[in-house]
């Protein structure tokens, strides 16, 4: 069975379409083949009514507003499937998304996670991904350090992945998927299916990237956590390089905004890696 987890917060209109894209999957021939879990992270809109309108085909869990990581983690704890798939409540699945991925994972039992290409829509307009967003397959630890490469809405995991690498970091208000992707790519080879099987809809005012200025603050937090992994010397250098690079970006931004306390904080973090900088 596949457990599909949709975390949501005040997105009732978009949520309805996301749920419909799950129920329309051609892989789900029988109800017992999947469970659809919606975790309402303290919404104040019509989210509960939208979910209940699907006549009991969805398991709804409601929690106080604690953030997307806590919502996903609750979904994982409730999941009974052998596989776990996430769908953000503003994204959509193409109808053959799960069938394509399960064909791969059934054929290759050693595959722990696979993800797919994406179609991007921002404010109703198609957007072409940039070169830096190119996807990769295999041992991609070095590729996930610059930015979040693996879209959770596109991925399917075997359940034991979460037992091995842990859940989402609830201390991160954003970039929790970036942190998870680092731990994932350090532990497993990641398989990429070069087909656009999800639609990512962006540009909303409530997106975390718009809510939190200076997202590199949270990426640096994740990178410093990564230094606690059993990294090789080469991997450690890659992580340190990214910390230094992102500190410089933040320092420039804080200087423009006259935020001197924040600038000093990241200047000190940067200086912690001074020896590495001298080697460069």
pLDDT of residue 108: 96
Report the share of the chain in percent with pLDDT over 70: 94
pLDDT of residue 275: 56
pLDDT at 208 over 80: no
Q: Which two three-digit tokens encode residue 276?
A: 């590495």
pLDDT of residue 31: 78
Query: Average pLDDT in the 239-255 region?
Result: 94
Task: Measure the CA–CA gap between 249 and 153, rounded to whole angstroms.
Answer: 28
Report which of residues 206 and 50 the model is more confident about: 50
> What average pLDDT does the structure give for the chain?
93
Contact 113, 206 (CB under 8 A): no
Over the stretch 53-103, which tens digit does the pLDDT of each residue have?
998 889 999 999 999 999 999 999 999 999 999 999 999 999 999 999 999
Model confidence, pTM: 0.93
Angle between helices 176-187 and 216-226 (to 10 degrees): 30
Over the stretch 101-122, which tens digit does the pLDDT of each residue have?
999 999 999 999 999 999 999 8
pLDDT at 29 over 90: no
- Categorize the per-residue pLDDT at 206 as very low, low, confident or very high, splitting at 50, 70 and 90: low
Q: Which two three-digit tokens encode residue 5?
A: 């987890």
* CATH 2.60.40.10 holds for 2-206: no
- Categorize the per-residue pLDDT at 27 as very low, low, confident or very high, splitting at 50, 70 and 90: very high
Three-class DSSP category at 28 = coil
């Amino acid at each position: 069975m596949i457990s599909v987890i949709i975390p949501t917060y005040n997105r009732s209109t978009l949520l309805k379409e996301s749920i419909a894209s799950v129920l329309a999957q051609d892989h789900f021939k029988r109800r017992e083949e999947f469970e659809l879990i919606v975790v309402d992270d303290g919404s104040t809109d019509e989210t509960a009514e939208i979910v209940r309108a699907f006549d009991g085909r969805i398991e709804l869990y409601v929690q106080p507003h604690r953030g997307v990581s806590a919502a996903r983690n609750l979904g994982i704890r409730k999941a009974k499937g052998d596989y776990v798939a996430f769908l953000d409540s503003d994204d959509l699945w193409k109808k053959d998304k799960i069938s394509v991925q399960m064909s791969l994972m059934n054929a290759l039992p050693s595959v722990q996670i696979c993800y797919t290409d994406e179609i991007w829509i921002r404010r109703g307009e198609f957007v072409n991904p940039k070169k830096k967003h190119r996807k990769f397959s295999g041992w991609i630890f070095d590729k996930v350090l610059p930015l979040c490469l693996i879209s959770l809405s596109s991925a399917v995991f075997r359940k034991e992945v979460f037992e091995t690498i842990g859940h989402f970091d609830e201390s991160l208000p954003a970039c929790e998927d970036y942190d998870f992707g680092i731990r994932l790519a350090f532990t497993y080879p990641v398989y990429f299916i070069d087909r656009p099987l999800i639609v990512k809809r962006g540009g909303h005012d409530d997106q975390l990237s718009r809510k939190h200025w200076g997202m590199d603050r949270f990426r640096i937090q994740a990178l410093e956590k990564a230094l606690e992994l059993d990294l090789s010397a080469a991997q450690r250098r890659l992580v340190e390089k990214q910390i230094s690079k992102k500190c410089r970006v933040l320092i420039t931004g804080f200087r423009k905004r006259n935020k001197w306390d924040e600038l000093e904080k990241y200047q000190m973090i940067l200086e912690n890696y001074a020896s590495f900088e001298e080697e460069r």
